[in-house]
Structure 1
Amino acid sequence: MSTPTSTQTQAIAQVEQWLASARGGQMELPQLMDAATKLQGAGLAAAAALLYQNWVANTPSPFRHVGCFNWGAILGDMGRHAEAEHAYRMALTMAPDFAQARLNLGHQVEHQGRTEEALALWRSVYDTPEAASLGAEPVPLLLHALNNAARLLEQLKRYDESEALMRRSLLLSPRQGDVAQHYVHIRQKQCAWPVYDTFGDVTHNHLLMSTSLLGMLDESDDPALQLLTAQRFVHEKVAKVTTPPLHQGHKRDGKIKIGYLSGDLCMHAVGLLTAELYELHDREKFEVHAFCWSREDGTPLRARIKGALDSLTPIGAMGDRQAAGLIAAAGIDVLVDLQGLTSGARPNILAHRPAPIQVSYLGLPATSALPGVDWILADRFVMPPEALPYHTEKPIYLPNCYQVSDRQRVANAAPTRAEAGLPEDGFVFCAFNNNHKMSEPVWRCWMRILRQVPGSVLWLLADNPFAKANLTRVAGEEGITPERLVFAPRALPADYLARFQLADLFLDTFPYNAGTTASDCLWMGTPILTRSGRTYISRMAGSLLTAVGLPDLITTTIREYEQRAVQIGNQPARAASYKRYLAEHGRSSPLFDIPATVRDIEREFERLALDARHKA
């Protein structure tokens, strides 16, 4: 047990005196707040909450609602959400128009899973006649209510309602970068084009400069824009660590220790791709560890990943500096970041440099611009020489393909076309990428392809009704009737894999190519037509096609892409020949020689780790 600091010792000594004063009903609010602040600063939040509880119960003050509010705030920060709810409700009983208490109460009921109640509380702030009388500075309160309701509605996939609230928020305060970022991405999720739809004082430039890196990967094949977007995120969000790297001073000898850093080691694209990687590592030379904040989803995949590791350390409850210190103390030689700047990422861990070699892999197929990440696993197709100036990381080139995958994935028996809602005759194009990857130029190209291949259909993932409605509407503009679009619901992995067998040709998205989906498609023996551009992410499927032995399915312009798709669609025998090739040679190709890929990765990690040990 750690020794109390002098600040804690002083606070502890005064706790009983403060509590006695609060119980006596003689403590003034400023004195109460000062004492509670000191207790919180000393790490004694529970004592601060108890102090407020006693003061509220015993003090006949006209400011008791303020005491209740502060009490609720402390309880909420401690994760005691039901008690915090009680405190905020007391505050509102005393002061029904106390908007700040209503806002915070919304958060507490949301934490308890009562989403509709949370939305109603925030709506009572932004959508009632009383909203205009919130005080001298109503705008921050309105923005708080609008933005949190929009956030929750987005999580609930009520995208139309969420977008409407974001618009209201941006009309009130147009320069909110975070809100503009979500506004752009929610339009991408709905296939609401143009994505950069301006209004009020919200300019195209502001939307562009607010776009998240994920959103920019969907929107632009310009490597400079992707780099600038990553750099902006790092500048705004990532800690500027000036202390020495944490890995210094930690002894490293014996087996090389590889650490995987991720919140996606579960039923997620990263978990699906990497399960066999952990299993195949050479335990004679390497120890394999994970530092993880993944959800415990109860899936066999999660259990399999955990079983394949020498150790898995949960760091979800740790601060970034604490987690980095733990990684450094473990003597990790090579830390592999599987997250990048994607949702849930923890880049500040990497900023502390807990390992001498820090490598980006899979989670972000682009530059992260993180100062703590020096390397990225790649191949010479996804990262050709002309791409190097747009990456802050140096490439670790694998000889065949950058992507590992899992040879143990199992598909169920294929359904019939009728069971899948497909016509018995006619060419079946499919495109199972997430809806947010679908850009307007590619979608209109697909509709032109359907026009030129009589009787063909396009089989799609039905992610949300708003995207479906927008895609169907634009299809109509291109002369394509709704029955030629077949929307499939999401399915369990084995059923999803089975679907590929019914399709004749997979049409890839651009500039955000298929990654895990492309691997699944080729594993199941279905050819994929891609367009490769200038960025890592727009060259992923091309890398897989090169490694599997089908480079003629790689195009470089939208015109070439359209022509190739039409040629194949009107020559079903050609699609069948690709399927025969994949059935006979696909799984034995370098793309799916996962043991060789793992050895290639290990050889590079060993070289870098031993060099770092030599220099230490």
Structure 2
Amino acid sequence: MYDQPHSDYTAWIQGIWQRVVKFSDLITYANQKNFPSSLAAVLYQTWLKRNHTTDDVFAWFNLGVSLFSEKDFIGAREAYEAALAIKPNFIAARFNLGLIYERLNNTQAALAQWKQVEETANSAVPDDLAILVLALNSTGRLQETLKQYQLACEALEKSLLLKPNQSDVIHHLIFMRQKQCRWPIYESVGATGESALRKATSALAMLNISDDPYTQLEGALNYSRAKIPTDLPRLAPPNGYQHKKIRIAYCSGDFCTHPVAMLTVELFEQHDKDKFEIYAFCWSPNDGSNLRQRIIQGVDHYIPIHELNEADSARLIREYEIDILVDLHGQTSNARIQMLAHRPAPIQVTYLGLPATTGLPCIDYVIADRFLIPQEYANFYSEKPLYMPDIYQVSDRKREISSAPTRESCGLPKNKFVFCSFNNNHKYTLEVFTTWMNILRRVPESVLWLLADNPWAKSNLKKQAELQGIDPTRLIFAKRTLPADYLARYHVADLFLDTFPFNAGTTANDSLWVGLPVLTLCGRSFASRMAGALLTTADLPELITYDLKFYEDKAVELAQNPKVLKKLRKKLADAKINSPLFDTTRFARNLETHYTNLVAAFNYQVSSVQSTKQAASVSEQPQKLKQLTDIVIKAEKLQAQDDIISAIQTYHQWIKYSCSKDKWIAWFNLGALLSSSGDLTGAEQAFQVVLQQQPGFIQARKALELLHSCMPKSKQLCSENDKNALGFWKCVTSETKKPLVAHS
């Protein structure tokens, strides 16, 4: 071994030049923690210049790794190619070479390298198997990016056959099956069964599967726990800022031709720049669109962060002293949840990107309306709903619409009833598609006009129609086109059929803006109530249905009654002018009121805490604050003696003076006691405090859900007979009869 393993770098260079360093020692030295990859590259280059041994292939490989770390992709490519020239079946080098080609935007060359790995690797050898799985997963990921969904699924399914239950692989596989309308979605892959597939379904994909808000919350929380480290530093100062203008930052990777941008662009233009300073932190591609230019011109500060990682992006946002950060992504593709987890702003809000709870503890509020998130469902959101007085969804009144096309130019029959659904294909489900086929069967002189997202979806939908006895030629597919031409299509359709459980969002807005009625099916989740929220604001509740049979019957009824449909169009035209649905200026003012109140409430809370601390320093306090465990035991004894009032006071006193991180446990036990005493409002407030501090605490959510579902009845019982009320509330406290105690 070279006798200067910890000596300076120059000595190692000299040792390599003099051929007195063993290659194994070189690897040990160069692989030291925090050793600069640029210096490691020089070491390997020196070795290769002065040595010609059987270790050269590994020196070339390590040189490639070092240069890749330095983003010298051309140099890394040459190094890997040199390694492969010596050892063509060196699959680790071939896999890495594929990554290099991908970075150089040569996707076909990358796929070719990974294909060779697949053909060369021996899956019976553990090291080969690991690289083979990586190659298949990379193939699937890249093919998905290229929208080659069938090839992507084939690669990921091969990977799961070799290594079952890979959650990240399943995450992508399920969503791509949805995009292809490849039903059933949860078809097993070898040892990866339906249970594993369901468990690993992404938050976005779950929106297409279930309208159960609890399931969506659980999935979001699981994703959050898996993806966000617990030790990220909080960047925003605890006391916030005192700016003359409130600083609002909208953060998105979709400031381009994307539904979120299409909805929000006029909001940025309408903000009151005398009172608010508007920032846009952007990591979206520059598509050169007019929409993107409007966004850039509509904000005060446009700041691209696409070249920054999430931690650096968070630090940059912190430097701008943002008062309120508005995330327009949620847990969707290309989201930056770790950036948000650093909490670069004192107040953080989610809006539009993901029509569901994010499950992120760093997000404080979600912008909603009372139809979208009714009070009884609010507990299934980790964020607190920020209720808009009219409608949650903003609109762009300046969107361009081309002249109405003819039906013939769209491939539509001239005299038949045209149902349409231009939602993304991943929103189509077998249950709703079957209902659509029933509608076509009951309305013989009709066709269904759908979006053709990809050829596999088109083929699968035609096959499914044929299986259900419907002529597949009655399904007419529209290709994607420019936004103005897409909007013009709504002029030649008769009725928009919504999807479920993932409703139309932007597409429903577009349809109503052009004047085409939307028939929706409403459920319990955010995503299943979006179109219903729009129709409620437009005063068109007759177009909201709540079960598939009624949805089917209503569609048939409207198709067979042109006079009724004409009245709906007239009502919609009036709503476009007179309702708040498309009043973007009004929306902006209402949202700004919320922003102002949020900052005021935050500042008040800060000042209250400071005042409390000052008062506590001079006021008489208990000589020694007891541990929570002691308080729980004391309260439990008092409760056993039927002295619930004293037990409640015990928790109140401890909460008042304690700074323990486990205070939420005391709040939960206090809530249970208050419910037992009949103080339903107090119990509700206590459980809400718990959820503010511990959004993932399911017991508190269940207690609060039951509290709300029973509250009207229980209030009546309390007013009539206290004993009945006490007995009634055992159903709330039975699951949590034993008080919680913090783990030591």
Q: TM-score range by the shorter chain?
A: over 0.9
| Secondary structure of 1:457 counterpart | strand
1:349 to 339, 349, 353: 339
User: Does residue 557 of the first structure (1) align with residue 547 of the second (2)?
Assistant: yes
CA distance in structure 2 between the aligned counterparts of 1:231 and 1:495, rounded to whole angstroms: 40
| Secondary structure of 1:290 counterpart | strand
Give the aligned residue type for 2:520. T
Give how far 1:297 is off: 1.5
Moved more, 474-483 or 440-449: 474-483
2:350 to 341, 355, 360: 360
2:217 to 217, 221, 227: 227
CA distance in structure 2 between the aligned counterparts of 1:26 and 1:135, rounded to whole angstroms: 34
> How big is each residue's C-alpha offset from its partner over 1:487-518, in whole Å with a ceiling of 9 and x where there is no partner?
01000001001101011000000000010111
1:296 to 286, 289, 300: 286
User: Does residue 118 of the first structure (1) align with residue 130 of the second (2)?
Assistant: no
CA distance in structure 2 between the aligned counterparts of 1:305 and 1:410, rounded to whole angstroms: 15
CA distance in structure 2 between the aligned counterparts of 1:551 and 1:610, rounded to whole angstroms: 36
CA distance in structure 1 between the aligned counterparts of 2:374 and 2:182, rounded to whole angstroms: 33
Q: Does the 8 A contact of 2:240 with 2:323 survive in 1?
A: no
Give the aligned residue type for 1:176. Q
Q: Which residue of 2 aligns with 1:241?
A: 231
Give how far 1:65 is off: 1.2
CA distance in structure 2 between the aligned counterparts of 1:389 and 1:471, rounded to whole angstroms: 37
Q: Which residue of 2 aligns with 1:513?
A: 503
| Secondary structure of 2:122 counterpart | helix
2:23 to 7, 18, 29: 29
Q: Which residue of 1 aligns with 2:563?
A: 573
CA distance in structure 2 between the aligned counterparts of 1:199 and 1:264, rounded to whole angstroms: 33
CA distance in structure 1 between the aligned counterparts of 2:233 and 2:296, rounded to whole angstroms: 33
Give the aligned residue type for 1:54. T
Give matches, 1:145-544, under 5 Å.
145-241=135-231, 243-248=233-238, 251-544=241-534
**Cα distance change on mapping 1:92 and 1:259 into 2, 3 Å:** same
Q: Which residue of 2 aligns with 1:88?
A: 80
Give how far 1:587 is off: 4.0
> How big is each residue's C-alpha offset from its partner over 1:269-314, in whole Å with a ceiling of 9 and x where there is no partner?
1111111111111112110012221111211111111111111222
| Secondary structure of 2:382 counterpart | coil
**Cα distance change on mapping 1:133 and 1:512 into 2, 3 Å:** closer
Give how far 1:352 is off: 1.8
> How big is each residue's C-alpha offset from its partner over 1:137-193, in whole Å with a ceiling of 9 and x where there is no partner?
332122112111122222222222222222221111112111122221111111011
Give the aligned residue type for 1:274. T
CA distance in structure 2 between the aligned counterparts of 1:425 and 1:21, rounded to whole angstroms: 87
Give the aligned residue type for 1:41. N
- Give unmatched runs, 5+ long, in structure 1: 1-10
| Secondary structure of 1:335 counterpart | strand
1:41 to 28, 34, 42: 34
The share of aligned pairs that are identical, in percent, is 45
Query: TM-score, normalised to structure 1's length?
Result: 0.94
Q: Does the 8 A contact of 1:523 with 1:587 survive in 2?
A: no
Give the aligned residue type for 1:36. A
Give how far 1:134 is off: 7.8
Q: Does the 8 A contact of 1:252 with 1:331 survive in 2?
A: no
CA distance in structure 1 between the aligned counterparts of 2:454 and 2:595, rounded to whole angstroms: 42
CA distance in structure 1 between the aligned counterparts of 2:190 and 2:123, rounded to whole angstroms: 24
| Secondary structure of 1:185 counterpart | helix
CA distance in structure 2 between the aligned counterparts of 1:496 and 1:18, rounded to whole angstroms: 65
CA distance in structure 2 between the aligned counterparts of 1:165 and 1:431, rounded to whole angstroms: 31
User: RMSD in angstroms over aligned alpha carbons?
Assistant: 1.9
CA distance in structure 1 between the aligned counterparts of 2:177 and 2:123, rounded to whole angstroms: 33
Q: Which residue of 1 aligns with 2:71?
A: 79
Give how far 1:54 is off: 2.5
CA distance in structure 2 between the aligned counterparts of 1:279 and 1:22, rounded to whole angstroms: 63
CA distance in structure 2 between the aligned counterparts of 1:612 and 1:243, rounded to whole angstroms: 20
Give the aligned residue type for 2:30. A
Structure whose CA Rg is larger: 2
| Secondary structure of 1:537 counterpart | coil
Larger relative contact order, structure 1 or 2 (CA cutoff 8 Å, min sep 6): 1
> How big is each residue's C-alpha offset from its partner over 1:87-131, in whole Å with a ceiling of 9 and x where there is no partner?
1000111111211001111111122222222222111121x3x43
CA distance in structure 2 between the aligned counterparts of 1:253 and 1:12, rounded to whole angstroms: 53
Give the count of matched residue pairs. Answer: 602
Q: Which residue of 2 aligns with 1:52?
A: 44
Q: Does the 8 A contact of 2:121 with 2:129 survive in 1?
A: no
User: Does residue 18 of the first structure (1) align with residue 8 of the second (2)?
Assistant: no
| Secondary structure of 1:137 counterpart | helix
| Secondary structure of 2:366 counterpart | strand
Q: Does the 8 A contact of 1:189 with 1:467 survive in 2?
A: yes
- Give unmatched runs, 5+ long, in structure 2: 607-744
Q: Does the 8 A contact of 1:25 with 1:59 survive in 2?
A: yes
Query: TM-score, normalised to structure 2's length?
Result: 0.78
Q: Does the 8 A contact of 2:332 with 2:353 survive in 1?
A: yes
**Cα distance change on mapping 1:242 and 1:488 into 2, 3 Å:** closer
Give the aligned residue type for 1:33. I
**Cα distance change on mapping 1:12 and 1:506 into 2, 3 Å:** farther
Q: Does the 8 A contact of 1:25 with 1:60 survive in 2?
A: no
Give the aligned residue type for 1:205. S
Moved more, 242-251 or 352-361: 242-251
Give the aligned residue type for 1:307. Q
Give the aligned residue type for 1:527. P
Give how far 1:247 is off: 2.8
CA distance in structure 2 between the aligned counterparts of 1:113 and 1:598, rounded to whole angstroms: 41
CA distance in structure 2 between the aligned counterparts of 1:526 and 1:25, rounded to whole angstroms: 79
CA distance in structure 2 between the aligned counterparts of 1:136 and 1:536, rounded to whole angstroms: 45
